[in-house]
Amino acid sequence: MVKFADESKIRVSSGKGGNGCIAFRREKYVPMGGPSGGDGGRGGDLIFEIRRNMRTLVHLRHKRVYKAKNGGGGEGSQRFGKKGDDCIIPLPPGCVIKDPDTGKTILDFGDAEEGRFVFLKGGNGGWGNCHFKTSTNQAPKTALPGQEGETREIIVELNIIADIGLVGFPNAGKSSLLDYFTNARPKIAPYPFTTKIPNLGVLRVDEERDVIIADIPGILEGASEGIGLGIRFLKHIARSAGLAFLIDLSDDNYLRAYDVLCKELESYSKELAQKKRIIIATKLDLPDTKERFTELKNAIPDQEILGISLYNEWGLEEVKKAFIRLADEMQKTKPRKESLDPYSQNKNFMTAELDDVSYEEKNDDEHFGATVSLSRKRKPKK
């Protein structure tokens, strides 16, 4: 079976802050130079970057651990340490970040097609000894270590974003329809279960507009109970603007097919079952199908039903117009999303300030330094 990379469990970490420096001015004519240890550099951030040209999570299967670089240590003359390099993980549009223990969604990128998001912020750099000079201690031998970064295990889940999702039983003509309208080249054969993974195609409307069509494996009766392949991939059409139900008129159970598909979708998600839809009756070139097409329209009078023949190319222009109309209608009613703000949207970063730090100084003349014991309190999440 062909595997489609739509989920991956990874461990991510931000960088540790660099240690503060213990140093003193040693110029020839400055006998009382005082402390000059600089602060450590901030650790690198763990960043997700949405890239519109990506389609799967296959790159996450080859590497499961991602860590940003640690910050550099402070130096004398109050020089700050170097900031650690960020770790940037590219993701396709439509990804969701989940907690592997609870299954709850931590972060949903929605329909953002590009942008960066700081998921874990690097630890702050430790203070150099120049911060600890007081009226009673002119030569402090104290510095603070850098703040630890954060580490989390997460599940990255991909939900394909499409304008139109094709739904139907195996061999109903979904892949052939996708092949006709788009530049996608799905596998097509005269037997069921040809499609084993989701396929995406782009229907070019004009220079500024595209309609993305998603074809998923065929759905069987009982799919909500685990039968067949299609139910696993229904999440990929959950964000589509509308659905196209393909009914095979050459199947003797064509009248029952629509009810079965509706039932399976509702068992999976009521929200998905309530999406706008059109019904496409396929294989209109075969014997007795024209009468069946009339019976189907009479049986479902409240739905838009279009008849097509991919063999003779009948009715395809009407289907194209219906796809464009459905996508345009949903685009107008779609709520506007705010752009990704790297820092304001993720406020659960570890932070430490002077009041959260306790330290003690111990004499250690060997390296004119100090051994520092540090305890930091993590601020409660708001």
Q: Is 197 annotated as a binding residue?
A: yes
Q: Is 217 annotated as a binding residue?
A: yes
Q: Is 173 annotated as a binding residue?
A: yes
**Angle at 69 (CA atoms; ends 68, 71), nearest 5 degrees:** 130
Q: Is 37 annotated as a binding residue?
A: no
Q: Is 344 annotated as a binding residue?
A: no
**Angle at 300 (CA atoms; ends 297, 304), nearest 5 degrees:** 70
Q: Is 195 annotated as a binding residue?
A: yes
Q: Is 121 annotated as a binding residue?
A: no
Which residues, at least 6 apart from 12, have a Cβ–Cβ distance to it below 8 Å? Answer: 46, 66, 67, 87, 89, 119, 120, 151, 152, 153, 154
SS3 content of the chain, % helix, strand, coil (to 5): 20, 25, 55
Q: Is 170 annotated as a binding residue?
A: yes
Q: Is 294 annotated as a binding residue?
A: no
Interstrand relation of 210-215 and 242-248 (parallel, antiparallel or unpaired): unpaired
Q: Is 289 annotated as a binding residue?
A: no
Contact (Cβ atoms closer than 8 angstroms) between residue 195 and residue 189: no
Q: Is 282 annotated as a binding residue?
A: yes
Q: Is 171 annotated as a binding residue?
A: yes
Q: Is 215 annotated as a binding residue?
A: yes
Q: Is 293 annotated as a binding residue?
A: no
Q: Is 196 annotated as a binding residue?
A: yes
Closest residue by Cα to residue 378 from 361, 359, 360, 357:
357
Q: Is 168 annotated as a binding residue?
A: yes
In the DSSP assignment, the letter for residue 35 is: B
Please give the backbone phi and psi of residue 116, each rounded to the nearest 5 degrees, phi first: -120, 150
Q: Is 349 annotated as a binding residue?
A: no
Q: Is 301 annotated as a binding residue?
A: no
Q: Is 309 annotated as a binding residue?
A: yes
Please tell me the distance from the alpha carbon of residue 292 to that of residue 299, in angstroms, as a whole number: 10
State which H helix or E strand residue 166 sits in: strand 164-168
Task: Write the single-letter amino acid at 176.
Answer: S
Q: Is 193 annotated as a binding residue?
A: yes
List alpha helices for the chain, DSSP H: 174-181, 254-268, 270-273, 289-299, 316-333
Indicate the annotated binding residues for GTP: 168-175, 193-197, 215-218, 282-285, 309-311
Indicate the annotated binding residues for Mg(2+): 175, 195
Indicate the annotated binding residues: 168-175, 193-197, 215-218, 282-285, 309-311
